[in-house]
Amino acid sequence: MLGLNKKDFLLLLIVTMLTMLAPFVLNPFPEGSALAQFNAGYPDLMQRFVIFGIFAIGFNILFGLTGYLSFGHAAFLGVGSYAAIWMMKLLTMNVIPAIIVAVVVAGLFSVVVGFISLRRSGIYFSILTLAFAMMSYQLAYSVLTPITGGETGLQPKVNDPRLLDSALVDGATPTANLFGLSMRSSYELEIGSWLFTFNAGYYVAAVVMLLSFYLAIRIFRSPFGMMLRAVKSNQNRMKYTGLNPKPYTLAAFVISGMYAGLAGGLMVAMDSQVGPERMFWTASGEVVLMTILGGVGTLIGPVLGAGAIKYMENIISKINTEILHSWFSFLPDGLEDLIVNLTYPFIGKGWHLTLGIVFMLVVIFLPGGLVEGAQRIAGLIRRKDKSGGMPPASAKAEPAE
Amino acid sequence: MIDLKMNRRGLMKGAAAVGVGLSAPQFFVRGANAFTNEPTGSSVTLGFNVPQTGPYADEGADELRAYELAVEHLNGGGDGGMLATFSSKTLEGNGIFGKKVEYVTGDTQTKSDAARASARSMIEKDGAVMITGGSSSGVAVAVQALCQEAGVIFMAGLTHSNDTTGKDRKANGFRHFFNSYMSGAALAPVLSKAYGTDRKAYHLTADYNWGYTTEQAVRESTEAMGWETVNAVKTPLTQTDFSSYIAPVLQSGADVLVLNHYGGNMVNSLTNAVQFGLRAAQANGKNFEIVVPLYSRLMARGAGSNVAGIYGSTNWHWSLQDEASKAFVKSFGTKYGFPPSQAAHTCYVQTLLYADAVNRAGSFNPCAVGEALEGFEFDGLGNGPTLYRAEDHQCFKDVLVVRGKENPENEFDLLEVVEVTPVSQVMYSPDHPQMGGAEATLGTCNPGA
Amino acid sequence: MEVYIQQMVNGLDKGSAYALIALGLTLIFGTLGVVNFAHGALFMIGAFCAVTLSRILTFSHEVVDETRTDFLGNPLKVDVPYIYDIFGEATGSVIIDWAVPLSILFAIPVMIAIGVIMERGLIRHFYKRAHADQILVTFGLAIVLQEIIKYFYGANPIQTPMPDAFEGVFDIGAIIGFGTGEILYPYWRLIYFGFAMVIVAAVFAFLQFTTFGMVVRAGMADRETVGLLGIDIDKRFTLMFGIAAAVAGLAGVMYAPIVSPNYHMGMDFLVLSFVVVVVGGMGSLPGAVLAGFLLGILESLASLQEVVALVPGINQVIIYLVAIIILLTRPRGLMGRKGVMED
């Protein structure tokens, strides 16, 4: 169906279900309970999950298929974001032109960077992409301040021109919208003590993510995808058969750059603001981490990795001592303090430490990332069942490097 | 919490959303609130958004301590701190407007994206009705714009760039901290008194917005005093070793070096300047001098004895002897064992000011709170008589000119106050060119519903 | 002319730091084939060795001084370092003053131990893994290391002064025939440069003239054959990792007075030192040192007012720009070998 084989279609279906029902899936704990801290079903984080999912899917098309490790992908996301915000300032607050222009501009930029960087391979390629991204960051922060707003970045202002929009009603702030539907508008549903938020922006981003995911599956399964894998496994053999790997790699690079631009455009659409630190090398490193953490070269892995990292960043960092004390208040005082003190270095301001430890554990014990973890668990269950059965959707993915 | 934008199309969509709500009668649909996150229970949630990781993590930690102290005092705990000295007497230790104060914390990472994500999670997930904190102007501007869109109040933490209440001012945002313009205006007279009016200044400026506004402010006010600016060089933000920028200073014919740097930049550039012998040097027959427009005591520790004798400005210092400052230092010092920083002070004060404004307004509605803060004159919070100006939501108060101490008594005793510049000297008109000129506008307040 | 010479001299100390870190990175990469993203963290830990030693030396007991008061108005508790009690105040204060040079002795065993533990406990399990995995696990380790340092020392920079004897500036201009005060260079930076040269020379001599070094070089060229000859190459590689860690650590110790150490200084240096290694050519020790100094000096020259006025923003991007140009004109960096890290 949809040009996919049965397994892929099933995977797409599961991902579709999960993204559409995310407000429920991510909010399993009732409001006001101690565990509500771990709920992730609020618009901002849900939007980030799918946006960084897109970013990681695109990155995986380059890294997972061709093996070229770009260390400067955040630059395309940043350039896309700047393009999108300028569309919002000059043309209209409608997100469609912003997103399209973001993809186009990021694509053009990646043609230039890719054309130059792909003249080298291996770590030399990585350093070239890193150099381009860091140059973009440094310039955006300083010399290009008139275009980028420097450190403070850009936001839509009340007195921007916005040629296509009718004048704002006095007192209104410019709001990103889709033909009038504000990206911020939410519908809240309360069932018992559970609260579920359905956010317009999230669903726009989620639909875009599903389309990109579908496109990624098609690329993975296409002859073009096969060519890209050939680039990874043996470029020389490919050359001997009379094929020039360069156009294929460049195409993959540009496609993944456009994915990054799409993610950048969507970020602006969801939260209309851009700052240069979006292009810093740690941001590029983050998408590498997401992809490897989830499972390189697998379809669903990068999305899982993106989710895991954003979850830690947004949930773990918000736990403070007060909350810890309230969790362990049932314990005797001395024990409570001891446990709080032992836990404290890993939460709140210590979330980086937790992140570092998780990376190390995953890389040491699960070289294939979270997807391999899922496969192993599935394998265990299957051995118990003793029947072959159908492998779970995520397990059919490509083997990781 | 249906987001109802007051324009034609938004109104229709909002109506549609309500329609959906009606078609699902078995569920209770929230959305009847008059403004974003209207507190309906017996408590109110504030969002403390401070840097917990990254280079400003220590300042963030100090801000968080101040917030926790403020919440304790608002809820009637502790010794009450500045509640007793505050000129407005609406705060009685029974929370804000009778509601118990609760809080959530987040990590800005000193990145605007992360700061906005964290603020949004506080607004969307935890129902925070006010966001406060931060230790850099980029983050302050970004979060302030977000709070404007979301319809909550933003009480800025440490942010010194003119832009926060200048070209990027917002109706929902308020700043108690002083700014670059005030630093320049306060420093210039003191500098000309100490070093004479015939000086040649060389500026090293951190290459980002705060650096630009500070350089401009100090330049304009010192040039008005008769100083000459021989050169102004921008240094990359990520620079750690400033030797290649310091070395040309002595050959330039300048006799004063102005370091428009903050945080780690300031520590390193000052240390480098001293190592290159600038403190001991002579130029144009005068002693060579160094100026640091914005001092932070936390950071000054990193520069150690190098700060001795160097002039700068600060928003507040724990050694002030007015009743309010003494009360604050006492309750902070008793609880944590060391004196508060200026970041801690401004955050504590902002929390109290917000709470008081809610009480006076009789509502948590951001528009009502904003109205109560606008033009509000108060005293007893450590800076003397202060005005929250209505036109740009900037506090106007005396500015402290400080100097690094030659012989510190203890590890906190690094700065001494040399002059308290009266507020009249640092006053400027809301449409001052450094503040974005006539174009800058607050817009109108957004209650978010 | 003077300004250009001044800036070239200025580039030396930063170049030294780049060169030492890149040297260690290349040693690890060349011998073990591991891309070590935690190397910047080792540099940072080195700097904190200096901080730690000066903390240990100033370890104090409190004496209440009734004549003075603290910030809350209570009698001031004055910290008296134990070392004053042991050696007397005069000798004690000299020892504290010399904390940074003394830290060299302190840092060598500490850094070698950290290096050996890292290699034995973690890195050796990654010899056969993909470079991406090595990068990720060492990156994770770098985050963990720097968060541990932050937990104990906070996030603000910590001043670590040099001994008083080395304060002041050296007038290079007067010696090489320019006017006095034209070209100045602080003594400590001069010492740092000399120190870096000694370490570089020592590492090269060690590899060149000792049997151990010979085996390691052979192992770098062809690990399997050396293993087949019955030589226990693994043990030597472990020690090599320790040495590389010590080189990074010493670079950090001596750098502490130049830039006040903070917990993220390793990450600040990491990316730049990777650029240095790659520009020098992966696996080439002389290349790493050469590129370190080259980029240090170019960075310094690009910060000149005249240059920035000509090309705005050049001081921000010079290192990356040079990296791009060199990699495009010399495919394997300045002195890289063919086939290393190209797949």
Report the complex ipTM.
0.86
Which whole number is the average pLDDT over A90-106?
Answer: 95
pLDDT in the model for residue A310: 92
A vs C: CB pairs below 8 A:
124
Residue A400 clears pLDDT 60, i.e. is over it: no
CB B183 within 8 A of CB B399: yes
Which chain A residue has the Cα nearest residue C130? A401
Higher-confidence residue of C234 and A16: namely A16
- At residue B29, the pLDDT reads 36
Mean pLDDT, residues A154-160 taken together: 85
Q: What does B160-213 look like in DSSP terms, one character per residue? A: --GGGGTTT--TTEEE-S--HHHHHHHHHHHHHHHH-S--EEEEEEESSHHHHH
What is the arithmetic mean of pLDDT over A124-130?
Answer: 91
pLDDT band (50, 70, 90) for residue C198: very high
Q: Do B169 and B125 share a structural domain?
A: yes
Classify burial at A326, counting beta carbons within 10 Å of its beta carbon; exposed 0-12, middle 13-18, buried 19 or more: exposed
CA distance B78 to B207: 43
Collect all residues of chain C within an 8 Å Cβ-Cβ radius of residue A127. 274-275, 278, 323, 327
Question: Tell me, what DSSP letter sits at residue A395?
Answer: G
Q: What is the pLDDT of residue B370?
A: 94
Q: How far is CA C332 from CA A71, A121, C279, C321, in A?
A: 18, 10, 8, 16
| Residue pLDDT, tens place only, C79-119 | 788 888 888 888 888 888 888 999 999 999 999 999 999 99
Closest residue on chain B to A277 (Cα): B111
- Residue C327: list chain A partners with CB under 8 A: 120, 124, 127-128
Do residue B305 and residue B326 come from a single domain?
no
A332: confidence class by pLDDT, cuts 50, 70, 90: confident
Residue C49 lies in a domain: yes
CB within 8 Å: A186 and B148: no
pLDDT of residue B28: 35
Domain count, chain B: 3
Q: At residue C136, what is the residue type?
A: L
DSSP letters, B258-323, are EEE--HHHHHHHHHHHHHTTTTT-EETTEE-EEEEEE--HHHHHHHGGGGBT-EEEES--TT--SH
Cβ-Cβ pairs closer than 8 A, A with B, add up to: 179
- Would you say residue B408 lies in a domain? no
Res B256: pLDDT: 94
Report the alpha-carbon distance of residue C160 to residue B305 in Å, rounded. Answer: 11
Question: pLDDT at residue A169 above 90?
Answer: no
The reply to whether B147 and B252 lie within a common domain is no
Residue of C1, C2, C10, C5 lying closest to C315 (CA atoms): C10
Within a domain: B258: yes
Contact criterion met (CB < 8 Å) for B318 and C265: no
Q: What value does the mean pLDDT take over residues C299-311?
A: 86
Q: Is C81 within a domain?
A: no
Assign residue B51 the CATH number of its domain.
Answer: 3.40.50.2300
pLDDT for B3 equals 42
In a domain? residue B419: no
Alpha helices in C33-80 (DSSP H): 39-57
Output the pLDDT for position B25: 30
B329-357, pLDDT tens digit by residue? 999 999 999 999 999 999 999 999 999 99
Residue B420 falls within a domain, yes or no? Answer: no
Q: Which of C100, C156, C273 to mutate to test the interface with B (most CBs of B within 10 A)?
A: C156
Question: How does the average pLDDT of chain B come out, rounded?
Answer: 87
Per the CB < 8 A criterion, the answer to whether A368 and A300 are in contact is: no
Task: Tell me if C80 is assigned to some domain.
Answer: no
CB burial of residue C88 (10 Å; 0-12, 13-18, 19+): exposed
Residue B438 maps to a domain = no
B114 plus B241 within the same structural domain: no
What is the span of the domain harbouring residue B259? Answer: 181-314
Examine residue C279 and state whether it is found in any structural domain, yes or no: yes
Q: Considering the domain boundaries, does residue C318 fall inside one?
A: yes
Its pTM stands at 0.88
Give dist(CA A376, CA B49) in Å, integer. Answer: 40
Contacts of A332 (CB under 8 A, 6+ apart): none
Instruction: Work out the pLDDT band at B13, boundaries 50, 70, 90.
Output: very low
In chain C, which residues have their Cβ closer than 8 Å to the Cβ of A360?
A: 122, 137, 140-141, 144
User: What confidence score (pLDDT) does residue A386 get?
Assistant: 55
Residue C166 has pLDDT above 50, yes or no: yes
Q: What is the CATH number of the domain that holds C150?
A: 1.10.3470
Q: What pLDDT is attached to residue A385?
A: 67
Looking at the fold, whether B240 and B322 belong to one and the same domain comes out as no
Q: How far apart are CA B154 and CA B135, in angstroms?
A: 14
Residues whose CB is less than 8 angstroms from the CB of residue A129 and which lie 6 or more positions away in sequence, other chains included = A70, A71, A72, A73, A75, A113, A117, A284
How do residues B19-28 score in pLDDT, each as one tens digit?
Answer: 333 333 333 3
Given an 8 Å threshold on Cβ–Cβ distance, is B207 in contact with A141? yes
Domains of chain A from N-terminus onward: 6-280 (1.10.3470)
DSSP 8-state symbol, C104: H
| Closest Cβ opposite residue B277 in set C161, C168, C258 | C168
- For residue C108, the model assigns a pLDDT of 95
Q: What's the confidence (pLDDT) of residue A150?
A: 85
pLDDT at C334: 87
Rounded CA gap, C256 and C48, in Å? 8
Structural domain harbouring C308:
2-55+103-329
Residue C45, in any domain of the structure: yes
Is the CB of C7 inside 8 Å of chain B's CB atoms? yes
C69 has a pLDDT exceeding 80: no
- Examine residue C206 and state whether it is found in any structural domain, yes or no: yes
Interface residue A145 vs chain B (CB under 8 A): yes
Rg of chain A in Å (alpha carbons)? 22
Regarding whether B185 and B170 lie in a shared domain, the answer is: no
Contact C156 B298 (CB under 8 A): yes
Looking at every residue in chain A, the average pLDDT score rounds to 87
Confidence at residue C141, expressed as pLDDT on a 0 to 100 scale: 93
Q: Cβ contacts (< 8 Å) between A354 and chain B: which residues?
A: none
CA of A118 vs chain C CAs: smallest distance (Å): 10
Q: Rounded to whole angstroms, how far apart are CA atoms B145 and B140?
A: 8
List pLDDT tens digits, range B229-270: 999 998 888 888 898 899 888 888 899 999 999 988 898 899
**Residue A333 pLDDT grade (very low, low, confident, very high; cuts 50, 70, 90):** confident
B60 lies in the same domain as B9: no
Which of B82, A401, B248 lies closest to C301, judged by CA? B248
Asked whether residue C76 is domain-assigned, the answer is no
Nearest C-alpha neighbor of B121 from the set A181, A26, A260: A26
Q: Give the span between the Cα atoms of A139 and A134, in whole angstroms.
A: 8
- CA A59 to each of CA A77, A293, A302, B82: distance values in angstroms, whole numbers, following the listed order: 11, 13, 8, 53
The per-residue pLDDT for A367 is: 84
pLDDT score of B17: 40
> What is the percent of chain B where pLDDT is above 90?
63
pLDDT band at B377 (very low <50, low <70, confident <90, very high): very high
Contacting subunits of B (3+ beta carbon pairs below 8 A) = A, C
Q: Are B369 and B380 spatial neighbours (Cβ–Cβ below 8 Å)?
A: no
Nearest to C156 among B268, B302, B339 (CB): B302
